[in-house]
Amino acid sequence: MTIEELMLQSEALIFGSDKPLTSIDIAQLIRDAASEEEVDLEKLPNALEAIVEKYASDFYPFEVKQIGGGFQFLSKKQYYPALAKLNGEKYTKKLSTAALETLAIIAYKQPITKGDIESIRGVNSDYSVQKLLEKELIVISGRNEDLVGKPLIYSTSKSFMDYLGLNSLDELPKLSEILQQDIVEPTQASEAVPEGNTQMVVSENGELMEIEKTTPENIED
């Protein structure tokens, strides 16, 4: 099978799948379908790379992206508004601020118990965790055997990766990058006082004026 044939086979599989397909999935499906035909799967990485490059062209309104550990056809960003009008809100996962906070904690601290989530947020998180489970953005990944009661632990799901267009959790922004920003220190009251023997006042006309301070030294007898 030539690299061109591998491209066509792979493209058809990615197009026909409703979830991202890994290169291993694609290789296995092509091998199973080939029957007696010899398949040189060493060419598959080059074939997949060529497909990604092909649909990166401005000629197409969609592209092949590697997300969630696999390859998937996705519409390009500039066409999202029109597609949102077509599909309405049925594919939109709207999250409250509380749910977003909870999801962020799970994403960066996973695997994590609900008790630890609540310790960080400072409030009960039952509802937020339940909503995230319903939207399949998180999963129950086990229990913490070392804690009393062996509480459930939560992790982000494959749907979370797909929803954010991530190929791995390593692609999440580093916390240091998120928190790194210029912090404006508040002006101290002492620093706000004009220098010298003057002070700022508002005149009867509403104008800001600078006048000499009234001190015991400059008060006339």
Same domain, 67 and 120: no
CA distance 92 to 212: 64
The rounded mean pLDDT for the chain is 80
Is 198 contained in some domain?
Answer: no
Is 54 contained in some domain?
Answer: yes
Same domain, 82 and 101: no
Please report, as a single letter, which amino acid is at residue 56: A
Same domain, 82 and 102: no
182 CB-contact burial (10 Å; exposed 0-12 / middle 13-18 / buried 19+): exposed
pLDDT at 187 over 50: no
Domain CATH for 54 = 1.10.10.10
CB neighbours (10 Å) of residue 74?
15
Same domain, 77 and 121: no
Average pLDDT over residues 195-202: 58
Is 209 contained in some domain?
Answer: no
Is 135 contained in some domain?
Answer: yes
Query: pLDDT over 90 for what percent of the chain?
Result: 34
pTM, full prediction: 0.55
Tokens found for residue 137: 């953005």
Task: Domain count for the chain, please give it.
Answer: 2
pLDDT at 203 over 90: no
Is 186 contained in some domain?
Answer: no
Peptide bond into 111 cis (omega under 30): yes
Is residue 141 within 8 Å of residue 155, measured between CB atoms?
yes
Please give the residue range of the domain that contains residue 55: 3-86
